């Protein structure tokens, strides 16, 4: 993972679908190890996978609870509450950018009549 790959978009766009891409650390479900994954925020869905060639899994953000865990990490609990996703950024600044983009994506979706979101 390079610093250039972590840069992503500096600020969420105003209006329209929010998009952001970059490397984040995701804690694995069963072994709880931290692994780098490529994430792409598109609308109210956070897609991820092992590389930039095509994220293959998704985290629905509609109605999800997003909670900051520490200066670099946060959790996302989708509305169905079947799983809690633990994510970390490489820096506090990158953490802040991702949190702004996720919040904007949830807000945009709510304004379009989708389910409301919970930010903590």
Strand partners, 74: 68, 87
For 24-54, the pLDDT digits (tens) are 999 999 999 999 999 999 999 999 999 998 7
CA atoms of 88 and 70, how far apart (whole Å): 9
For 74-103, the pLDDT digits (tens) are 999 999 888 999 999 999 999 999 999 999
For residue 72, pLDDT beyond 50: yes
Count the alpha carbons within 13 Å of 71 in the hemisphere toward its beta carbon. Answer: 4
Q: Which domains occur in the chain, in start order?
A: 18-113 (2.30.29.30)
CB 54 within 8 A of CB 47: no
What's the pTM? Answer: 0.78
Q: What is the pLDDT of residue 10?
A: 46
């Amino acid at each position: 993972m390079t610093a250039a790959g972590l840069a992503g978009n500096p600020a969420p766009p105003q209006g329209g679908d929010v998009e952001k891409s970059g490397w984040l650390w995701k804690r694995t479900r069963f072994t709880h190890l931290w692994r780098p994954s490529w994430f792409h925020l598109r609308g109210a869905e956070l897609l991820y996978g092992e590389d930039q060639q095509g994220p293959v899994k998704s985290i629905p953000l509609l109605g999800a609870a997003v909670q900051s865990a520490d200066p670099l990490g946060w959790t996302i609990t989708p509305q169905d509450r079947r799983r809690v996703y633990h994510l970390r950024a490489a820096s506090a600044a990158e953490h802040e950018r991702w949190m702004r983009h996720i919040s904007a994506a949830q807000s945009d979706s709510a304004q379009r009549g989708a389910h409301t979101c919970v930010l903590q």
